[in-house]
């Protein structure tokens, strides 16, 4: 630990405030009556100019520019009026959080906020004796653009900085070099590899000069996805966490509440699912053809694991051919692919339009795990699959090929919940998808009940015919039953 005169490199403890700014509370629609806190590991501290890793397979790394208080003198049971005299100074901080791990953390923030490098501090300490606690200004820039600009006046903070120090001192001894992160204002959002975040705290001194912490600079890089389900929880996000991380539904690319896609049909009932699971795609396809629907087969796809069966309603995802400028704008961050997999409803089948291009993967094991966790019935893609052996054990997936390359080699994730062309078949959100070893088919929701009932009835007839053929009878007049054979079949069916 450094001396109280400087910015600590390994504080004894780091205490962070959940919400302290009026603007943040207004953004989230909840204003706390009293401050609440969590702890961050001292090993998470980083200096200006260092990088922060967003682990592969995650998407919700959010910055939070904050004023950091550094304690100068041991404080226990101090009053609000005297609290500032126990402070050595303030500096800039960035309370980074990986929202993908917030659900597994169950409120502790251990894995989401205490990762190495997730608490940049510095670079300089503004002496508390030279800066009044209500005179500070906090600003944050992302790639050179100001995204946060707020202060510490009484009308800007829910809880003043001295109050936070005094409250904490009632519960634990604040020691020299301890750090308190005092919450972030509105404007916190998600960053991606390649983004640079800068935070600065300033204050006006008694002689009118501006005091500054200097700019605390952090660049985001892609890290390894070092998660192991045999050791602990895997990343998991939902719509609420996505909105919290981005700051709003609009920023996250989500539709306003209440504007969910009206084209998506209600989930299939258990009885209908049981019938569709029993019915083979060959029989269902024949029934659709008899009703004039010939172009309902998703061509070229096969199960990664023989014997797999998919029954569910379609959730669609569309890729367009890779173009470098478009992948730069649409391929990174919380893109359309990740949004689609994060918004799966139980019983849905993700149907991916990849134009029959098998030269890269269209999903891998992380997305397959996410789909499984949300109750997906499976995935059908007319493109390739990465991590195919692992994916095959996670949930049913039908694809045209296996391929190790990442999405960006051939595709740009573009949009979801729209009409797509998968394997030369048009698929609408809410269409019924059935897939087995023979392939995958699309059934209009309005026809599914009559089609499956007819297919199962035909299966009974075909089973009886197969028994007669196996007994040595010729197929003339028997397949399908006609005349005498039809009468025999009707008699047999009536006796069942």
For the chain, the domains span: 14-246, 270-449
Instruction: Please state the three-class secondary structure of 98-158 as a single string.
Output: EHHHHHHHCCCCHHHHCCCCCEEECCCCEEHHHCCCCCEEEEEEECCEEEEEEECCCCCEC
Please return the burial class of 287, using the count of CB atoms within 10 Å of its CB with bins 0-12, 13-18 and 19+. buried
CA distance 298 to 177: 64
The single-letter DSSP state of residue 268 is P
Predicted TM-score (pTM) of this structure: 0.57
Distance of alpha carbon 97 from alpha carbon 101, whole angstroms: 9
Q: What are 184-222's pLDDT values in tens digits?
A: 999 999 999 999 999 999 998 777 789 999 999 999 999
Average pLDDT, the chain: 90
pLDDT attached to residue 462: 74
In this prediction, residues 75-94 reach a mean pLDDT of 97
Q: What class is the 14-246 domain?
A: alpha beta
Read off the tokens for 127.
């002496």
The CATH number fitting domain 270-449, selected from 3.10.20.30, 1.10.3720.10, 3.50.30.40, 1.20.58.1000: 3.50.30.40
Q: What is the mean pLDDT of residues 417-437?
A: 94
CA distance 447 to 436: 20
**pLDDT at residue number 263:** 35
At 344-365, the pLDDT tens digits run 999 999 999 999 999 999 999 9
Q: Say yes or no to pLDDT of 259 above 60.
A: no
Provide the pLDDT for residue 344.
92
């Amino acid at each position: 630990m450094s001396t109280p005169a400087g910015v600590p490199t390994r504080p004894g403890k780091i205490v962070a405030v959940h919400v302290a700014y009026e603007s943040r509370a207004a953004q989230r629609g909840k204003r706390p009556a009293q401050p609440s806190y969590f702890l961050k590991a001292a090993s998470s501290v980083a200096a200006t100019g260092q990088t922060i890793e967003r682990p592969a397979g995650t998407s919700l790394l959010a910055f939070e520019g904050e004023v950091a208080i550094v304690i100068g003198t041991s404080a226990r049971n101090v009053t609000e009026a005297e609290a500032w005299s126990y402070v050595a100074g303030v500096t800039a901080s960035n309370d980074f959080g990986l929202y993908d791990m917030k659900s597994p953390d169950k409120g502790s923030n251990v894995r989401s906020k205490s990762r190495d490098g997730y608490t940049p501090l510095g670079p300089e300490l503004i002496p508390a004796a030279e800066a009044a606690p209500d005179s500070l200004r906090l600003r944050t820039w992302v790639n050179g653009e100001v995204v946060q600009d707020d202060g510490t006046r009484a009308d800007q903070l829910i809880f003043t900085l001295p109050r936070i120090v005094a409250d904490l001192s009632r519960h634990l001894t604040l020691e020299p070099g301890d750090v308190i992160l005092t919450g972030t204002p509105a404007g916190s959002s998600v960053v991606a590899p390649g983004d640079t975040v800068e935070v600065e705290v300033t204050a006006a001194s008694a002689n009118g000069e501006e005091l500054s912490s200097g700019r605390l600079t952090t660049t985001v890089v892609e890290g390894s996805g070092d998660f192991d389900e045999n050791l602990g929880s895997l990343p998991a996000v939902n719509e609420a966490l996505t909105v919290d991380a981005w700051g709003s539904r609009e920023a996250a690319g989500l539709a306003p509440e209440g504007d969910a896609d009206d084209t998506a049909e209600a989930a299939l009932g258990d009885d209908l699912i049981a019938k569709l699971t029993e019915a083979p795609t060959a029989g269902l396809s024949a029934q659709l053809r008899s009703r004039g629907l010939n172009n309902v087969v998703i061509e070229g796809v096969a199960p990664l694991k023989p014997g797999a069966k998919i029954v569910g309603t379609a959730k669609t995802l569309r890729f367009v051919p890779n173009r470098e400028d478009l992948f730069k704008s649409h391929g990174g961050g919380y893109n359309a692919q990740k949004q689609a997999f994060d918004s799966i409803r139980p019983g849905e089948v993700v149907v991916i339009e990849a134009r029959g291009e098998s030269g890269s993967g269209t999903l891998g094991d992380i997305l397959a795990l996410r789909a499984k966790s949300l109750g997906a019935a499976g995935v059908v893609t007319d493109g390739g699959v990465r991590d195919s052996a692992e994916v095959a054990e996670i949930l049913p997936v039908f694809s045209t090929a296996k391929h190790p390359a990442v999405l960006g080699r051939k595709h740009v994730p573009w949009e979801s919940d729209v009409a797509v062309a998968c394997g030369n078949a048009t698929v609408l959100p809410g269409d019924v998808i059935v897939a087995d070893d023979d392939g995958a088919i699309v059934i209009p929701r309005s026809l599914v009940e009559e089609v499956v009932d007819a297919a199962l009835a035909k299966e009974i007839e075909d089973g009886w015919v197969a028994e007669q053929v196996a007994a040595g009878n010729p197929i003339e007049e028997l397949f399908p039953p006609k005349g005498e054979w039809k009468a025999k079949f009707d008699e047999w069916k009536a006796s069942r």
